């Protein structure tokens, strides 16, 4: 290899089972090379700059505490750079410098037994200084194949090297930091839910406040000037629900990438495309521009134009609803709400908040001049190209959100469907017909549900009225406005038969777009593989759904 590093066989085998290969990096001979970066020594990690400890005890204490705080902040910055790629050399250097400050405080007898047991406390204050978007970026760095390589290499170095202190200490801090990140995310999510509950029921405030998670105290709260500024990325923040979504989808996508890697590589081999890796295919997806098609008048004119409100969130259907504008009617808003809460159950439990709801776009794999979606589709003849940090905090699926959700047809779900017909907004005669086991409408519905229940790739595309028997579609359309009929019925069918758990398993984050490849048919997969081979444009699109930009 050009890096001169020979793979450690054990690490190579471990990573291969999780879909990580030399396209991610290589470890061997006490060095790790990640991506196009320079090799990094793990047996003797180069420390970031550490200032002189000082002459007097007071000075040593102050500099030691401040040093840990500064290293913690710079560690988080290394994990969430503006480019979206972690700076692993800087990361390890800051962890090494942090260890020096830690040992200095230990020599002064200032560390408690708990602080000696775990290093996570050193990151507590810095983590609390992050916005939700910044915290999400730090979390996502732990779900990448690059971080998998680094952490595996550090553990291996600790096993095989008698002089393993640097690697062992770095590994410990990374794992402790990862645990602290997850705790902070969970705390913010729970606190947001408690805030919603208090807003809904103020009389229960005292009880609800008592249920808040215990926050790790800032160990340096008494140190003057120890407070940290939040990392600046020039964007508005996301909600706690959005943060929770990115965490859950990221974890799920990482798991799917790891467990499906061998199967997907075998599919490529069977199609005589074995010289292409799944990661290389996903890299084609990651390199595509993320675009949102929009009507030109919405771009440059009107109350919600982007030119007039460049710092506001992109407007979604719920922003319009808050303004009293419902272009597709109330029935569409109900449908959209049901679909989004199935993709993102984290939106449940509180009233709709427009700012945290998704806007929709696509990866411009075909390199079209005006966005990924052609103007003939009606989405708009203008397009916005979104910045890389937006792509990092979006979630992705292979198809349109109205069509791509997974379904599960079970007796319990059927029973729930018939219970929810009352109050659905459908005409009374339609409800009676659907509830009557002897009616033609009911028999046709039961037969259709039986049919799609047996489909291994059943999706919400099968819940469209036009795909159902004529007795259903024609009866509904003859008694209610066709648009409202479609929206009401699809909303009810979605609520009852779209399965949130299996749908989550086919969603991906930017760092784990390999998960999408597992859900591609052979035609799309071949096209993407050839694009990876030849580095040419590929026709098609990958849809995205995600947290508000």
Q: What is the rounded distance in angstroms from the CA atom of residue 413 to the CA atom of residue 347?
A: 21
Residue 479's pLDDT is 67
Look at residue 343 and tell me whether its pLDDT is greater than 70.
yes
Residue 540's pLDDT is 52
Q: What is the pLDDT of residues 259-292, one digit of tens each?
A: 998 898 888 888 888 788 899 999 999 999 999 9
Q: What is the pLDDT of residues 93-125, one digit of tens each?
A: 999 999 999 999 999 999 989 899 889 999 999
Confidence of residue 547 (pLDDT cuts 50, 70, 90): very low
394: helix, strand or coil: strand
Q: What is the rounded distance in angstroms from the CA atom of residue 73 to the CA atom of residue 55?
A: 26
Look at residue 231 and tell me whether its pLDDT is greater than 80.
no
Q: What is the rounded distance in angstroms from the CA atom of residue 509 to the CA atom of residue 132?
A: 16
Consecutive H or E run containing 362: strand 361-363
Q: What is the pLDDT of residues 48-59, one digit of tens each?
A: 999 998 888 999
Beta bridge partners of 545: 395
**CA neighbor of 84 nearest in space, from 509, 546, 523, 524:** 509
């Amino acid at each position: 290899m050009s890096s001169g590093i020979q793979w450690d066989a054990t690490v190579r085998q471990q990573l291969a089972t999780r879909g990580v290969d030399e396209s991610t990096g290589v470890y061997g001979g006490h060095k790790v090379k990640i991506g196009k970066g320079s090799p990094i020594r793990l047996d003797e990690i180069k420390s970031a700059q550490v200032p002189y400890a000082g002459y007097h005890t007071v000075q040593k204490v102050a500099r030691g505490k401040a040093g840990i705080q500064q290293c913690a902040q710079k560690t988080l910055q290394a994990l969430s750079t503006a480019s979206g790629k972690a700076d692993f050399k800087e990361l390890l250097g800051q962890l090494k410098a942090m260890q020096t400050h830690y040992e200095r405080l230990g020599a002064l007898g200032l560390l408690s037994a708990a602080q000696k047991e775990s290093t996570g406390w050193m990151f507590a204050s810095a983590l609390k200084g992050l916005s939700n978007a910044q915290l999400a970026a730090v979390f996502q760095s732990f779900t990448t194949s690059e971080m998998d390589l680094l952490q595996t290499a550090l553990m291996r170095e600790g096993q095989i090297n008698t002089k393993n202190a640097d690697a062992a200490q770095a590994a410990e801090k990374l794992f402790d930091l990862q645990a602290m990140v997850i705790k902070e995310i969970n705390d913010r999510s729970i606190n947001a839910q408690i805030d919603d509950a208090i807003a809904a029921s103020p009389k229960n405030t005292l009880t609800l406040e008592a249920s808040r998670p215990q926050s790790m105290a800032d160990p340096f709260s008494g140190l003057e000037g120890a407070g940290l500024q939040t990392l600046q990325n020039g964007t508005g923040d996301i909600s706690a629900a959005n943060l929770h979504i990115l965490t859950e989808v990221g974890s799920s996508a990482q798991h799917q990438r790891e467990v499906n890697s061998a199967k997907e590589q075998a599919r490529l081999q069977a199609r005589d495309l074995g010289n292409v890796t799944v990661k290389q295919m996903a890299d084609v997806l990651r390199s595509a521009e993320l675009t949102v098609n929009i009507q030109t008048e919405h771009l440059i004119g009107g109350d919600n134009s982007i030119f007039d409100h460049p710092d506001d969130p992109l407007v979604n259907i719920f922003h319009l609803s808050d303004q009293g504008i419902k272009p597709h009617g109330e029935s569409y808003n109900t449908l959209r709400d049901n679909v989004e809460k199935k993709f993102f159950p984290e939106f449940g439990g509180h009233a709709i908040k427009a700012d945290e709801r998704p806007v929709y776009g696509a990866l411009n794999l075909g390199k079209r001049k005006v966005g990924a979606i052609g103007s003939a589709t009606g989405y708009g003849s203008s397009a916005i190209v979104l910045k890389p940090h937006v792509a990092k905090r979006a979630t992705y699926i292979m198809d349109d959100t109205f069509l791509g959700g997974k379904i599960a047809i079970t007796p319990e779900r059927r029973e729930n469907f018939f219970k929810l017909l009352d109050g659905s907004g459908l005409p009374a005669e339609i409800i009676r017909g659907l509830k009557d086991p002897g009616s033609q409408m009911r028999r046709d519905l039961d037969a259709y549900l039986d049919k799609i229940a047996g489909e291994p790739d059943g999706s919400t595309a099968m819940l469209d009225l036009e795909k159902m028997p004529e007795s259903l579609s024609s009866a509904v359309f003859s008694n209610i406005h066709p648009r409202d009929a479609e929206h009401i019925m699809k909303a009810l069918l979605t609520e009852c038969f779209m399965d949130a758990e299996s749908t989550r398993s086919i969603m991906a984050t930017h760092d784990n777009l390999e998960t999408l490849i597992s859900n591609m048919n052979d035609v799309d997969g071949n096209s993407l593989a050839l694009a990876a081979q030849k580095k040419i444009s590929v026709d098609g699109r990958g849809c995205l759904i995600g947290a508000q930009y």
